[in-house]
Amino acid sequence: MTTDPTTIHLAGDSTVAPGPLDGSGVIGWGGVLHEFVTRPVANRAFGGATTATFLETGRWAETLEAIRPGDDVVIQFGHNDQKDPELAADGGYIDNLTRFVTDVRDHGGRPILGTSVERCLFTDDGELRVSHGPYPRAVRRLGRTLDVPVIDLTAFTRWLYPWLGPERCRELFPHPHPENGNPDTTHFGLAGARAVAGFVAQQLRALDGLDDDHLPLGYWGMVP
């Protein structure tokens, strides 16, 4: 008798949320994570979500109800929390994340925190602006305090965007902002979502130690 595979649950905002797979609109990295993993993905992220509204709308309760022992729950908020004074990085934001971690553990899952993906905002001098202030640091500190794995998407995207450069970086964000028609520097298109999802998948693979038992290729170059 075989057991069902464990599930990867996602909790977050629009940068994680599902979207069209044909490239016609914005989509979060969670919307394509299934392309890079073999386990089922349950994505309950939604646009505009904060740690508070994820609780208020019942999405968090739905997540907890669905968790089975051994499941992973990847939690990435911050873009919208920073707009609410009650969700300061050292206040309501971190309090809610602490609750999420405790809840997941109480339900037999493994909580995994994610720092926010960076916004693609370059200065006239070609420098990538910092848009999340103390929020990523707060997540990193919480990870150390509660012994929770952290996938540092802020650091990854702050490397990725300058490496691509301002022009090529726009390929990750091809759609205009729905409210003002200006270039959208926050919400991914399909290419951007896949770039980040591939990184998340590799981080999950590393956390599970899936490659640890392979014989290192350097073994064959050993001299007795």
Contacts of 178-186 spanning 24+ positions with Cβ under 8 A = 184/26, 185/119, 185/120, 185/121, 186/14, 186/15, 186/79, 186/119, 186/120
What's residue 1's pLDDT? 43
Residue 2: inside a domain, yes or no?
no
Residue 143: inside a domain, yes or no?
yes
Q: Which CATH number characterizes residue 195's domain?
A: 3.40.50.1110
What's residue 4's pLDDT? 63
pTM of the model: 0.93
**Mean pLDDT, rounded, for 166-179:** 89
Residue 115: inside a domain, yes or no?
yes
Residue 63: inside a domain, yes or no?
yes
Confirm if 15 and 186 have CB atoms less than 8 A apart: yes
| Domain count for the chain | 1
Residue 1: inside a domain, yes or no?
no
Domain containing 83: what range?
8-221
| Segment 80-101, tens digit of pLDDT | 999 999 999 999 999 999 999 9
How far is it, in rounded angstroms, from Cα 212 to Cα 216? 9
**Mean pLDDT, rounded, for 52-59:** 98
